[in-house]
Amino acid sequence: MQIPRSTYYQWLSRQPSQRELENQRITDLGYDIWLSSNKVYGYKRIHVALKRQGLTVGVKRVWRLMKAIQAQSIMQRRFRKPVTQVLYAQRPNLVKHFDDMSGIWVADVTYIQMPGGSHLYLGTVFDPEARKV
């Protein structure tokens, strides 16, 4: 390949670039911020804290550097069960007071959210006399 032997030694004695030094400084400051927050802060909050310290750096850069040192938030978003909002008064349950259940069917429609972001509706009809769906 006709590469001089001195290339290897030049590579060994190479000084880090300005960008590498800056990345190391951001990583050290970000890691200190992450530890001082009891590992709660994620890359977005670390970015805000760095900005408050006067360091102008992009969010994606902070994300990349924090990911490289595995400084991730231990917090996760809580699952919030979807609630039904009823804008009118609830109707009374007229079936509850019947003694004879012949000829009565009970129906229900349930909304099911699928992993791909789509949704399905499940409609069921229940015969209380035969106790069958």
Mean pLDDT by 10 residues, the chain (133 residues): 69 79 95 93 94 94 95 84 82 80 86 87 89 87
pLDDT at 114: 87
Tokens of 61: 């850069």
pTM: 0.51
Give yes or no for a contact between 107 and 121, defined as CB atoms under 8 angstroms apart.
Answer: no
Give, in order, the Cα–Cα distances in Å from 17 to each of 54, 110, 112, 129.
Answer: 22, 60, 54, 81
pLDDT at 54: 93
The C-alpha atoms of residue 28 and residue 34 are separated, in whole angstroms, by 10
* Cα atoms found within 13 Å of the Cα of residue 14, Cβ hemisphere only: 10
pLDDT at 1: 67
The C-alpha atoms of residue 66 and residue 59 are separated, in whole angstroms, by 10
- CA 4 from centre of chain: 52
pLDDT at 95: 77
Tokens of 94: 């007229």
- DSSP per residue, 69-91: TT---S--PPP--------SPPP
- Reported as a single tens digit per residue, the pLDDT across 34-67 is 999 999 999 999 999 999 999 999 999 999 999 9
Tokens of 33: 């911020």
Residue 121 main-chain phi, psi, to 5 deg: -115, 135
